[in-house]
Structure 1
């Protein structure tokens, strides 16, 4: 990644500190680029299933660090919350038995408590801590997510995919009809339209089961590579259309594509979308696009991987729109900035093709980009991925916080 992104300071986390103790991952949130411990003394706290430590009854506002030791025999998640647990201000996601990690935050005047959630069930809270005085750049806290908070976005996403699948089927049938009458020039045009219709559904791919490999699988790892008889779907059709195959050779592939999309439509209502997968897809769609589309890895002859990347950006925007209410509550301004970055990336992709040689559908092949253009696109996508990578943690379920 060649360019570091611009960040606004989110209420949940400004700097994300990761530490590993006994195989456990700890996440401590602070509100500044410098560690929250700057200028603060470290307070030692030992927690077990009988009590979540004994912090001081009073503290001054500003940076505070609790060095938390798990004295129990099981893993524990530790939060700094208000006494009722309505808002959290810092957390250690996992702390291993007999290990220690810092819990850091910058707190305003108010009442706080430590809350311990042990992996085998017990939840205990410390006595309250009264914080007095004033300090700059303190944490406003965040409402802890529960797994049910994501049910509505997932339901909306299922509805969006369900509405889009018939249009995908229409596009696949148009492609098959082109090949059936031997019009391979029309087939190349309609192949791109159909393929992009599928790629815009990128966030749902993990819920398509075996249909995803059948519809859009790569030849990587197949015994016969691009000549393997088991290779089907859009990329296999692309390879035949752009490598001189006759209509008789292409037709079985387009017929199977229609059959597979029809099967997917029938199967999709029974497929599960894990609620916690949706925030992951907001990052993973374009992470895959960086690996397979911007590099040209998936180009089977049409030179349209930049068009695929553009479709992936649209799919990411759809996921982001559904997660916007939850994200705005936890990081005001993040979605607006991501929307601007996604729009800018689409503009750059289209400009790169307009300035290039122009191939299928007017798109320039990734391997035909000049070095400066490729570096600009790589930098923009890398910067965007760094910001999108924040979403899974922002929207991680914290059921017992």
Structure 2
């Protein structure tokens, strides 16, 4: 044995062991720091636990203004947690994995809201938002005249998108009725893309949204649940079962719901703050769905849907951009760049789901900064 190959001396052994221990401790410390950075910021957040059957607590009370909720999933399947004003989704976090928590931050107006608690069939809780002197002053504040034009332009964009979705749903119904699997798959992709282009406004009709695109995980019997309908049920039949069998009545119901949704869009009263606010919420929802793989769980091809969704987010940005560029040119460029980065990530081949979700989250953060800059939020 050469000198270089000999075992360490007795003097060196304690030193090496001590150094190894320090390296291990250092690694543990670095791991802890990295983990801490990745944890949701929970300070001041109101805890809500979603079980298999309910929320804990089922009744919440908060003052109007900014609120933060820490939602923990104590059930055995992914859940969403929503704040509802009638049929309109005010705020939501989707695809919270079992055993995990997620933070939702939202500026709430006075009123009594419903909160969803896991499965769509579970009873809903209540969230009471109490008026404050600040919220009363905000209510009295006049809308910005400069935003009337962008608000009208956005309404026209959404009405056109709703019309395209209705026609696409009818084409899908016809392809299924003809028994043509290949044509039905193509028609489904087109209809799903048009539905994705309505993602900023879909939560305003949560009852229709739950019929048009429910996730199986939200339903007690999953794919066998009677409430598993619309685009989701058709996607399952066409791509998981490779069959149009039993889909004709589902497609006919989807066409009716699409027509009803189009009528609702015409009647929606948008708000100036909703243009960017709804876009930011939709971008966060897309990030969650992309990370969880629930955007197209059976077709397994998110590219077309994400492209359509990002197009509608960019149109929302564009109607506000003249005002944003005048107020803060750097922020205007940042929002545009982050949406472009999300487009690039979503269209990459092969697509990196983690990178795409991160790009969508960054776009959501940029979109969320528009309202404060334009004076739409204090």
Corresponding residue for 1:240?
A: 237
Structure 1 residue aligned with 2:287, among 266, 285, 290? 290
Give the Cα–Cα distance (whole angstroms) in 1 for the partners of residues 205 and 149 of structure 2: 20
Structure 1 residue aligned with 2:249, among 247, 252, 264? 252
SS of residue matched to 2:299: coil
Structure 2 residue aligned with 1:394, among 370, 373, 376? 373
Q: Higher relative CO (CA 8 A, sep ≥ 6), structure 1 or 2?
A: 1
Corresponding residue for 1:177?
A: 174
Alpha-carbon distance, 1:121 to partner: 6.8
Alpha-carbon distance, 1:350 to partner: 1.8
Give the Cα–Cα distance (whole angstroms) in 2 for the partners of residues 343 and 288 of structure 1: 18
Q: Give the alignment of 1:282-361 within 5 angstroms.
A: 282-352=279-349, 356=350
Alpha-carbon distance, 1:168 to partner: 1.5
Greater mean alpha carbon deviation, residues 207-216 or residues 226-235: 207-216
Structure 1 residue aligned with 2:277, among 273, 280, 296? 280
- Conserved? CA contact 1:282–1:391, under 8 Å: no
Greater mean alpha carbon deviation, residues 254-263 or residues 376-385: 376-385
* Counterpart check, 1:215 vs 2:212: yes
Relative to structure 1, the CA distance from residue 160 to residue 254 in structure 2 (aligned partners, 3 Å threshold; closer, same or farther) is same
For residues 32-64 of structure 1, the C-alpha deviation after alignment (integer angstroms, 9 at most, x for no partner) is xxxxxxxxxxxxxxxxxxxxxxxxxxxxxxxxx
Corresponding residue for 2:264?
A: 267
For residues 134-182 of structure 1, the C-alpha deviation after alignment (integer angstroms, 9 at most, x for no partner) is xxxxxxxxxx994554333222111111122222122111111111111
RMSD, aligned α-carbons: 3.3
Q: Rg larger in 1 or in 2?
A: 1
Query: Unaligned 5+ residue runs, structure 2?
Result: 1-33, 35-42, 46-61, 67-106, 108-131
Give the Cα–Cα distance (whole angstroms) in 2 for the partners of residues 172 and 300 of structure 1: 20
Give the alignment's TM-score, normalised by structure 1. 0.56
Alpha-carbon distance, 1:290 to partner: 0.6
- Conserved? CA contact 1:215–1:232, under 8 Å: yes
Query: Unaligned 5+ residue runs, structure 1?
Result: 3-17, 27-92, 94-116, 124-143, 357-368
SS of residue matched to 2:256: helix
Alpha-carbon distance, 1:284 to partner: 1.2
- Conserved? CA contact 2:168–2:187, under 8 Å: yes
For residues 172-222 of structure 1, the C-alpha deviation after alignment (integer angstroms, 9 at most, x for no partner) is 111111111110111111100111011012211233342222222223332
Relative to structure 1, the CA distance from residue 393 to residue 172 in structure 2 (aligned partners, 3 Å threshold; closer, same or farther) is same
**Count of aligned residue pairs for this structure pair:** 255
- Runs of 4+ in structure 1 over 4 Å off: 22-26, 120-123
Give the alignment's TM-score, normalised by structure 2. 0.59
Q: Which has the higher helix share?
A: 2
Relative to structure 1, the CA distance from residue 147 to residue 174 in structure 2 (aligned partners, 3 Å threshold; closer, same or farther) is same
Q: Give the alignment of 1:348-387 within 5 angstroms.
A: 348-352=345-349, 356=350, 373-387=352-366
Give the Cα–Cα distance (whole angstroms) in 2 for the partners of residues 145 and 382 of structure 1: 32
Give the Cα–Cα distance (whole angstroms) in 1 for the partners of residues 137 and 189 of structure 2: 55
* Counterpart check, 1:162 vs 2:159: yes
Corresponding residue for 1:30?
A: none
